[in-house]
A = this chain, B = another copy of it.
Amino acid sequence: MTELKQRVGRPIRPVLSRDTIAIHALELVTDHGFEKLTMSQLAKKLGVAPSALYNHLDNKADLVLLIQDALVSQVSLRGMAQLIEGEVSLAAALEDWARSYRSVFASYPSLIPLIAVTPVSEAPQTSHMYDTVAKALITAGVPEDHVITVVVAFESFLFGSALDVNAPANVLDAPEGDIWLAHVIKASRKVSDPIFEAEGTEHPPRMNSDHATAPFLFGLQALIDYTLRFIPSTASAATS
């Protein structure tokens, strides 16, 4: 209420907050890539003086933390929360988290190299995600000294998969002379032809018209299967 009173008489303008700043920063990154993002450009987009921006942010490194939190808070933790409650399997929780994670980062490929190396301890939403995932994995039976290994292995794959989403469909076209490459590309495409679809679906997933989907599903299943080896009951179920 105090805050509201103070604002009486001021011109109507969205109050500058870390959330507002993050939203506008992400818009600039979407339009121009992270390299082109400057504090002065961001201030201009927000319609404030750079000094107003510096009331909320110390520097561009602080802006990176803000952006990281704005992205990571979009990643679904529903599966992990359900795993903690015993409502879904470890495999289901990992899949929910991984699909959502890849989807969020696929929209911001220029941020991936930066976020991959930014410490999380100053980004509260980000460290909260890791905290929830750690709790869920321990609850499911992943040995506590392997949790970080599992999470980072998934993330490495998800960052790379998010980049691959942005590759053009012809990223692997073969030049004349590379006959093996040409052959496997042709074979990959064949299976998305309706005539060949009738052969039925096989496991693991095949390449289809969305070039990035099959590799993502293949790697995701590989990582999930390998993680399940930590869980005695699943491991014995898989081999019996």
Interface size of A as a range:
35 or more
- Copies per assembly: 2
Contact A229 B215, CB 8 Å, known A127-B181, A178-B127, A188-B148: no
What's the minimum C-beta distance from A216 to chain B, rounded to whole angstroms? Answer: 7
| Alpha-carbon distance A134/B122, docked complex (angstroms) | 44
Establish whether residues A216 and B156, one from each chain, have CB atoms under 8 Å apart when the complex forms: yes
| Alpha-carbon distance A132/B230, docked complex (angstroms) | 35
Establish whether residues A185 and B148, one from each chain, have CB atoms under 8 Å apart when the complex forms: yes
Which of A149, A188, A190 has the most chain B CB atoms closer than 10 A to its own CB?
A149
Q: Mark A209-230, 1 if CB is under 8 A from B, else 0.
A: 0011011101101110111011
For A122, list chain B residues within 8 Å (CB): 175
Q: Which residue of B lies closest to A136 (CB)?
A: B180
For A112, list chain B residues within 8 Å (CB): 113, 163
Establish whether residues B116 and A160, one from each chain, have CB atoms under 8 Å apart when the complex forms: yes
